[in-house]
Structure 1
Amino acid sequence: MSFPFLLCPSLYTIFYLLYTVLSPYFDTERKKAYILSSISSCTMTILSIPFFLSYLTNGLKETFEAGQEGWMGQMGWFGAVFFGVYLFADLTVGYLKYPSQVGLLTGWIHHIVYIGLMFYVVQTQITPIFLMGAVMELPTFDLAISNLFPALRNDLRFLSSFFIFRILFHSIYLIDCARPSSRAFMGNSWVPTVMLGLALMMHLSWFKGGVTGYIKRQKKSSHKRTIMVDEDPIIEMVSTVDSTISSDVLPSSSSPYESPLVTPHTASPSQIPFFLSNLNIPAINLPTGIIDLRSLKENGSGFREAVRNSWDEQKEKFTMGRLVRRKLSEREEEGRVVVREVVEVDE
């Protein structure tokens, strides 16, 4: 089949219209750059399924022969033309709409080389070779959807599919196409083997970068996790407010009033809101002369021991204060009930 010069403008117009309709729903250039990519990768993955399954069950030669005629021949021819038009549309639309996302290697060089390859594939009628390998567009579809809809992103899923299809399957497919018996029914052409080899080198580089980025993100994420210090309630509270406080770090100040453990001084009555002025909160005086922070630092006992000592000394006072407040509230409630009953009798 000759190259369909009349079909190409129609496909290009469809790509441009789809981008025009969908792009307003995405707010960044990065997301907009994946609109055409998601459409192309999804279409190519679907078109490759019959060729991929036939390759797994019947082998390279029978799939190649079956893809030369019938519906598989038409599908292979259309797939190569479709992909070539997409590459051209991604370059031209990207140059106008999202130029920051069209790189030199992965954009201009990659797309121009593959446009020439699609022209060669159609002219030499080896489209089944391309369609059998087009299943490698599945990780690209995952990447595109993850960028368009970040909630669907899963790095392990993407890296796993990338390794299975673009590293493992690609390597097996390359070796199969490079065999002399395989090149015999492809007109003894080295072009498929060379192109698959260059693509594999590029995929290995991308996979290495993806794994390195994933490891860095995991380390960064684990570094940000808040580590709870012991089970003591005061230590947990302080650690939640200030994640830099840990059990083995002492305050640099020698004054307990400058320690992160101590709350600011109580505000004057004029600074207290009216709805808090009637609360009966027992005063708690933390001892300031008992804990020698400098000696604790020298002995290595740490911030945890200082907090525990203060907490143990005040634990009984907290308990007694709680009991007193409970009894007072019970008495006030009893008084309110009596007053309510007296008022009802008088009425």
Structure 2
Amino acid sequence: MIKTLSMMFGEVGIIVNWWDVLVTVVFFSVVLLCWYQAMCSYFTQTSKDGQGPSQKQKAWFLSFFISCLSTPLGVYYLSRALSPEWDASEMLDTDAFSRSVLTLFWVYLIVDMAVGYFEYPGEFGLLSGWVHHIFYALFLGYAYMKGYSISFTHTLIMESSSIFLSGGRLFPRLRSDWAFGCLFLLFRVVYHLYLLLKLYSLPAPRGDLWPPVAGVWVLHLYWFRGWMQGMRRRAQQSKTGEASSSMASPCGDSRDPEGEPVKREKSA
């Protein structure tokens, strides 16, 4: 097994206890599935017709859970990253807590794909759903095996914008297009660039993490551009008296440029 993984990811950075990993994966899977079922029950009980949540609502249950959990943890790691004494090489290290958090996010991606295939296929887009999740899961697996899990925890604050995106879809009072856009710009563009430059400054081979991080940063720029276009379009519609019922998504609309349904944006 180790030999196979070494061929996939290069030199393995840590010794993995696969039994512990399996137990952790099963535990987090149960937690996420219980949360999903609890949200389905809540929306069924609170709906006026008793029909239960729509596919569009179901598509945001897991994302809302992850963003609410990630944001407070992200604040802690953000404060460390912005400290004058912070050593960027810390990102290329690992500890038990960061491995657990990374594993939770990896499990979330897998569960989201599995549940989405059966429960909300119409809301799970090709680019923002399948391609994004598969790439992200492989990237997290790479970071785990190389012993770079702390680098992931420094990106948790990027999920703060998703609270308003996913929460706004589920609870109208949480909707705030401008809060989403400002947090997206601040953390997924500006702060992401800060981390990218820090990674780039590290010597190789320990600095080999920056190319995929740079690719995700470009994707975030693309999504933010779409959000700005969506806000501009909504402003024009409001002037002409046209109502818009959908929240501004990262791609500026409920569909991406290829015409696939846009489910959500993600962190690096």
Bin for the TM-score computed over the shorter chain: 0.7 to 0.9
Q: Quote the Cα distance in structure 1 between the aligned partners of 2:149 and 2:129.
A: 23
1:129 to 132, 151, 154: 151
Structure ranking higher on relative contact order (CA contacts 8 Å, 6+ apart): 2
Aligned to 2:155, what secondary structure does the other structure show?
A: helix
Residue 195 of structure 2: aligned partner: 173
Q: Quote the Cα distance in structure 2 between the aligned partners of 1:48 and 1:160.
A: 17
Q: Quote the Cα distance in structure 2 between the aligned partners of 1:211 and 1:142.
A: 16
Residue 188 of structure 1: aligned partner: 206
For each residue in 1:280-313, what CA deviation from the matched residue of structure 2 results, as whole angstroms up to 9, or x when unmatched?
xxxxxxxxxxxxxxxxxxxxxxxxxxxxxxxxxx
Does the 8 A contact of 2:199 with 2:207 survive in 1? no
Alignment of 1:207-246 (within 5 A): 207-224=224-241
Q: Quote the Cα distance in structure 2 between the aligned partners of 1:174 and 1:30.
A: 34
How far did residue 62 of structure 1 move? Answer: 6.4
Residue 32 of structure 2: aligned partner: 15
Q: CA RMSD in A?
A: 1.9
Aligned to 1:175, what secondary structure does the other structure show?
A: helix
For each residue in 1:33-64, what CA deviation from the matched residue of structure 2 results, as whole angstroms up to 9, or x when unmatched?
11000111222223333222111113243644
**2:32 maps to amino acid:** F
Residue 52 of structure 1: aligned partner: 78
Alignment of 1:200-279 (within 5 A): 200-224=217-241
Aligned to 2:228, what secondary structure does the other structure show?
A: helix
Q: Quote the Cα distance in structure 2 between the aligned partners of 1:202 and 1:62.
A: 25
Residue 30 of structure 1: aligned partner: 56
For each residue in 1:198-252, what CA deviation from the matched residue of structure 2 results, as whole angstroms up to 9, or x when unmatched?
1111111111111111111111112219xxxxxxxxxxxxxxxxxxxxxxxxxxx
**1:140 maps to amino acid:** S
Residue 127 of structure 2: aligned partner: 105
* Deviation beyond 4 Å, 4+ runs, structure 1: none
Residue 114 of structure 1: aligned partner: 136
Query: What percentage of residue pairs aligned between the two structures are identical?
Result: 26
Alignment of 1:145-164 (within 5 A): 145-164=167-186
Residue 88 of structure 2: aligned partner: 61
Aligned to 1:5, what secondary structure does the other structure show?
A: helix
Residue 42 of structure 1: aligned partner: 68
Aligned to 1:137, what secondary structure does the other structure show?
A: helix
Q: Quote the Cα distance in structure 2 between the aligned partners of 1:220 and 1:16.
A: 39
1:142 and 1:75, CA in 2 relative to 1: closer, same or farther beyond 3 A? farther
1:149 and 1:183, CA in 2 relative to 1: closer, same or farther beyond 3 A? farther
Q: Quote the Cα distance in structure 1 between the aligned partners of 2:87 and 2:135.
A: 25
Does the 8 A contact of 1:51 with 1:63 survive in 2? no
Does the 8 A contact of 1:54 with 1:63 survive in 2? no
1:218 and 1:35, CA in 2 relative to 1: closer, same or farther beyond 3 A? same
How far did residue 164 of structure 1 move? Answer: 0.5
Does the 8 A contact of 1:55 with 1:63 survive in 2? no
Residue 138 of structure 1: aligned partner: 160
- Residue ranges of structure 2 left out of the alignment (5+ in a row): 1-13, 44-51, 243-268
**Quick check: 39-48 or 154-163, which moved more?**
39-48
**1:156 maps to amino acid:** W
**2:206 maps to amino acid:** N
Residue 97 of structure 2: aligned partner: 75
TM-score w.r.t. structure 2 length? 0.75
**1:45 maps to amino acid:** T
- Tell whether 2:23 aligns with 1:6: yes
Does the 8 A contact of 2:40 with 2:58 survive in 1? yes
Does the 8 A contact of 1:51 with 1:128 survive in 2? no
- Residue ranges of structure 1 left out of the alignment (5+ in a row): 226-347
Does the 8 A contact of 1:47 with 1:79 survive in 2? no
Q: Quote the Cα distance in structure 2 between the aligned partners of 1:219 and 1:178.
A: 41
**1:39 maps to amino acid:** F
TM-score w.r.t. structure 1 length? 0.59
**1:199 maps to amino acid:** V
Aligned to 1:161, what secondary structure does the other structure show?
A: helix
**1:59 maps to amino acid:** W
